[in-house]
Chains A and B, each alone.
Chain A
Amino acid sequence: MTADFSTPPIVGPVKPYHPPRRTEFTLPNGCEVLVVSDRRFPLVSVRLGLRRGARQFPPEEAGAMDALADLLTEGTRSRNAKELAEEADAIGGEIGASAGQDFLAVRAFALSEHADRLFDLLADVALRPTFPDGEVDLRKQNMLEELKISRSQPSFLSEVVFAKNLYGAHPYSIIAPTEESIARISRRRLAEMHAAIFTPSLSVIVVVGDIDPQAAADAIRSRFGDWTRRDAPAAGSPQPPKDRRRSVFLLDRPGSAQTDLRIGNLAARECDPHYVPLLVLNNALGGSFASRLMTELRERRGFTYGVSTQIASQQELAALELSTQVRTDSTEESVRVILEHFERVRSETISDEEISKAKNVLAGRFVRRMETQRGVADQFLRLKLYGLLPDHLETFVGRVNAVTREQALEAARRYVLPDSVVIAAVGDASRIEAGLALHSREPVRRVGVGGE
């Protein structure tokens, strides 16, 4: 090593990640199972994923899937909420569930010496929940409180406005419940929804941990083998609006010191060949601390504490989405600068330095997620639920490192669309509407807390 300390040492690219070995099989009832042996720590993690989520049900029932997921652990045929919590403690673990638009997932872990009790607990919670009336009522009350708190937050409101107007008729447009939809939640309806989607042909079980793969497979067979097959409800959704012109949707919040902005358009899904180049491009544009937009809006102009862009890829659609909170009097200029930067990444390639940083950030974040057993389990679950290529985890770092500046430019030309973005703004309309109108190709639309 030389004794020059003035510049950081030169290092190679992020090393590839080699996931632990897996075994896969399908039970006769259609439930897919994936077992990964990970013996670094005496823990076992398990995931039960269902290929149906909130968009399976009509908008009038918004929030019901979240309630269903939360209530799985609040009572089963053989245990009440307290007994479920005590059993989780007694095996050194935790259990919980969450729902999204496309999927529902139950997640649990325990010390590996208690793996059998972990699988029992998972099967109990997933297959035999009772949705006790008292717990349902409590959850509904809490959901109303949470909704009130959410609606006091501008970032929540701008997300509602953005999703509503980007996705239109597609169910991704609904991201929050309403007072009415919460009121409709009932024990009977939750039980019907549970029966409709908890069916083996929609399911995938992922086991990761310090366990013999054969023993794990046997344990899954014994708990889920006689789970009865039912016809799965059909999926498929109406399409969002096409051929749109850049439009502003404005929610008035009088006296607001800041404007909460969300700007974006539909983009490449994870299965699209342009997805990884788009991720790289996104990182240079607004996806990291050193990005162009962060430098411009925060450091150079001092309009905001932060700005970020992301590619939000879901099962049916993906979006490029920018989010920032800017000083009210800088709203017009901020939107102008953002649109200029959207335009610029379409007209010229990003620099060598930018692309190398973007790759480091993406690959680095990816490998760091795989440090924990829960990270590994979640990545394998995603792989199965989204139907990604089987070698996705092995090849991701390599694919990121292989992106060229030209490929990133091509991705920008296809998926960064300043002429047709949706601009959602939550702020003091009397001070920002005229400025926003300069950037809208349609008249500025005033919307309410529901985004319409």
Chain B
Amino acid sequence: MPRIKTESYSLPNGMRVVLAPDRTVPVATVSMIVNVGSRSERPGRSGFAHLFEHLMFEGSQNVPRGMFDKLLESYGGDNNASTHKDFTHYYENVPSNALPVALWLDADRLNALAITDEARENQISVVKEEKRLRIDNEPYGPALYDEISARSYKNWQNAHSTMGSFEELEAASREDVQEFFNANYAPSNVILGVVGDFEPEEIKPRIETLFGRIPNRGKPAPVDTREPDGAFTFVKGSISDAHANLPAAGIAWRGMPERGTRDFYALSLLGSVLFGGKSSRLYLRLVKDSQTAISVDGGLGFPETDYSEFKAPGIFGAFVVYKSGRTAEDILRLMEAGIGEIAADGVGDAELARIKTKFRSDWIRSQETALGRAGMILRAALLDGDAKAADADLERYLACTSADIRAAAAKYLTRERAMLLEILPEASE
């Protein structure tokens, strides 16, 4: 197996740095993972982490508003960012000659972001537009991005949506935004990754000069994201959807185990057994054999996030668009029949081998690009505390046995843990 060679260290101001040189192709990625996601927002400030991600492109001390993208493109690079439940991720891909420019851009915004009223108001309306486009006007958007989480958790930190509410976004004053930046974008809350074609001894002094000047502002206080103790009971709800043509069932099994536990790995693979493509158990059962469903999706972390971006607590979700004339409970029962087979008999040798082979191949291919490697080692550095954990992780997935998967199915995908949401087309009401 290929391993990502990494070197990790910290600057005096607390910022962690992970270097992963690989000189085979003259390209590089500079990436920052910031230890703030929607789960760490304060009540009344939903959507802040995501709004803030937008503001990070709106200019800084030496980079005028609108110039970040343009400047990077003029060196042949590109960039993007994304906000998750547990972190915010930024990256720039560049031909390796332009690596110093990407570092300079990130240091400038981390050191002195320009937080203006104009940029803030403008980005609040951009985020609203994004929400309309991606959630409100999409069939099943409100269920997938909002309702399933809202109904699966008791703790507000976990239950509220990443996109946030319009009222709370609008209430964001410039002082609020500045305070959010000072607390969460402090150097000790950021991990910088540099991956690809560079010489570590050349790049280290550059990082030191550019990022080392940012003052240490300590770490933000940790947020309590634990769900209250107590047994689960089955819950069921129903919503209507203005854009859907067919009914759908959203299911979330609650109380999933933490990243790094044996059950976590087993549940990740169970997701592939049940939902991974056209030879998967539930695709065959619901779409092909019984012909009750049009599409079937799911897995550990779904639909909130990918299993690899999962801290805890989380859900194991499923989403099934089905033909009229059935109910969401029918769908849940069909799925439970499929899950019950695994909970009783586990997974056959050939099937498990095929799933592990595909899993390993996907894992390897995600490392082909500097960006893919950067994401993997930064997630490991943040969520597991060590960039090198990325390599060891694959072996733990592949060590799962049929008995592990059987036990995880029996323990976690139970009726008591299930939250069932029926989504009905508005016209049919």
Contacts and interface: CB of A to CB of B under 8 A. Distances in A.
Interface stretch (B95-103, B164-172, B323-331): B95-103
A85 B279 contact: yes
Interface string B206-238: 100110000000000000000000000000000
Given A8-B104, A12-B97, A89-B355, 14 more contacts: A5-B61, A6-B62, A8-B71, A14-B76, A40-B368, A41-B367, A42-B1, A82-B278, A90-B354, A90-B357, A110-B361, A360-B98, A368-B93, A371-B27
Contacts of A110: 361
B73 A288 contact: yes
B385 interface: no
B5 interface: no
Interface in A369-387: 370-373
A11 B100 contact: yes
B296 to A, nearest CB: 16
A15 interface: yes
Contact of A372 (B70, B77, B357, B368): B368
A175 B353 CA distance: 43
Contacts of B277: 85, 89
Interface string B54-93: 0000000110000001110111110000000000000001
Nearest to B208: A1
B354 A360 contact: no
17 contacts: A3-B209, A8-B100, A9-B100, A11-B97, A11-B99, A41-B2, A85-B279, A89-B277, A89-B357, A111-B361, A290-B74, A361-B74, A361-B76, A364-B76, A367-B26, A368-B27, A370-B25
**Which interface residue of B74, B75, B210 has the most chain A CB atoms within 10 A?**
B74
Given A16-B26, A43-B364, A372-B368, A357 B358 contact: no
Given A14-B95, A360-B76, A85 B278 contact: yes
Interface of B: 1-2, 24-27, 61-62, 69-71, 73-77, 93-101, 104-105, 107-108, 111, 197, 205-206, 209-210, 277-279, 353-355, 357-358, 360-361, 364-365, 367-370
B364 A41 contact: yes
B111 to A, nearest CB: 8
A110 B100 CA distance: 36
A141 to B, nearest CB: 16
A90 B74 contact: no
A188 to B, nearest CB: 28
A15 B278 contact: no
A40 B2 contact: yes
Contact of B70 (A9, A290, A362, A371): A290
A289 to B, nearest CB: 5
Contacts of B96: 15
B76 A89 contact: no
A367 B73 contact: no
Nearest to B103: A9
Given A1-B205, A9-B101, A89-B354, A367 B74 contact: no
Nearest to A1: B209
